[in-house]
Amino acid sequence: MKYVLTFLFCFTILLSKGQSLKLSQLKSFIGQPVSSVTDSLIHGEWRVRPELSGVQGRQLYKTFSYGTHQSEQSKALSWFRIQADDEVVNQLYYQLNGAEAYNLILKEIKESGTEKKDIQDIENKQISTYYLSIDYIFQTITGADSYTVMVMPNTQL
């Protein structure tokens, strides 16, 4: 029994490590070729979701999922979506698995010299907040059990 518990604990840590992305990783994806970001995410055990991906004009949308909920096998633990113009990532959305991971990224955003610009209530009791830095625009969207971070370059200079 002791070995089974040890294995399950190590397996859980391994799974959660693959989907926990840091702010520096998110920022590094901006400006990269879609193929490079895709390879990096797949290496971290993310799955491409072709049914939620596509092209609209010059804009490419590619969606990834990570893991599955134990109670609902049809639901992913985390979601990641990149948007790209001419095969270069210019915006991404990262839906995190929980408040703890979200709060770590939010702390990094606040500590990176950003300025809080706007807070809005949006549908379904969600709150959207924008943070600006010299190089990036961040948007956080939080709801009851939903935590999303958007990253894009700040081209308003």
Look up the pTM and report it. 0.82
Average pLDDT of the residues in 112-126:
86
Over the stretch 71-110, which tens digit does the pLDDT of each residue have?
Answer: 666 689 999 999 999 999 999 999 998 899 999 999 999 9
Q: What is the pLDDT of residue 73?
A: 62
- Of 76, 35, 85, 33, nearest to 56 by C-alpha is 85
Between residues 75 and 62, the one the model is more confident about: 62
Give Cα 100 to chain centroid, integer Å.
Answer: 14
Q: Which of 148, 130, 156 is nearest to 26 (CA)?
A: 148
